[in-house]
Amino acid sequence: MGWDPSLIRALNAALNEATVRGIDYIGARDEVRLLVDVCALPAEGPMDADPRRVLVLYEVAVIEVVLRTDRSSERPAYGPVIPLANMADVAEFASSLSWMHPMCGWDFIDTEGFRTDFPSTPSLAVRAPALRPAHSLFWFTECGRQEGRASVAYCLEGVVYFQALRVERADGSPVPVVEFAEDGERWWKAFFQHDARVSVQAQREAAEARLSWRTTGPSW
């Protein structure tokens, strides 16, 4: 896929304030599936009633994941890196979370800016050195869960180096990459123009009606 700067800019906008809900790695297909809730505004009508999307990154060459406790009120802000044995461990941890906060920022695609705070030794690294990835995606969530009687906060983040991307809805129906990017960019343009379709009230009503990724456990 040929990605020009305008598409990368739109993809970054589409991922701003997206909430990572889960991640799965299918090694037999060199494929990562990142589950996200996004801000999406179609060309006509109100906000998308179902913001759930799956970013399918394929021909994956490298995956790096970092898990640390989040103690932002202290210094250093994060605890030591927590080792993870494999991607199944990552998926299991994500499914155990009680809350997950959205990604704030405008720089996720083909960036290395995150390396400033990214530890040199991650919790997990999966590599397929024979492949030559064309793109990268940085993702993160500040999150947490109940552990006994305590509420423990974490930062879960990672980067995937990959060759190509497709986008699906939660039901598996395809969404063209350009449409995904434009719907996100349009949402933020409407937000900055104080469009009633993305007002605080509209966002609150959409959140109350939001469909869940899972039927048991926390409401996400």
pLDDT tens-digit map of 150-207: 899 999 999 999 999 999 999 999 999 999 999 999 999 999 999 999 999 988 888 8
Domain membership of residue 77 (yes or no) is yes
Q: Is residue 118 part of a domain?
A: yes
Report how many domains make up the chain.
1
The reply to whether 11 falls in a domain is yes
Q: Give the pLDDT confidence score for residue 3 in this predicted structure.
A: 85
User: Which domain does 16 fall in, by range?
Assistant: 5-209
23 in a structural domain: yes
Q: What is the C-alpha separation between 139 and 158, in angstroms, rounded?
A: 6
Residues 6+ apart with CB under 8 A from 88: none
pLDDT score of 75: 64
Q: What share of the chain is helix, strand, coil (3-state, %, to 5)?
A: 25, 35, 40
Q: Which two tokens stand for residue 62?
A: 């490298």
Residues of the chain scoring pLDDT < 50 = 215-220
Inter-residue contact 132 to 161 (CB < 8 Å):
no
Is 218 a member of any domain?
no
Does 220 map to a domain? no
pTM of the model: 0.90
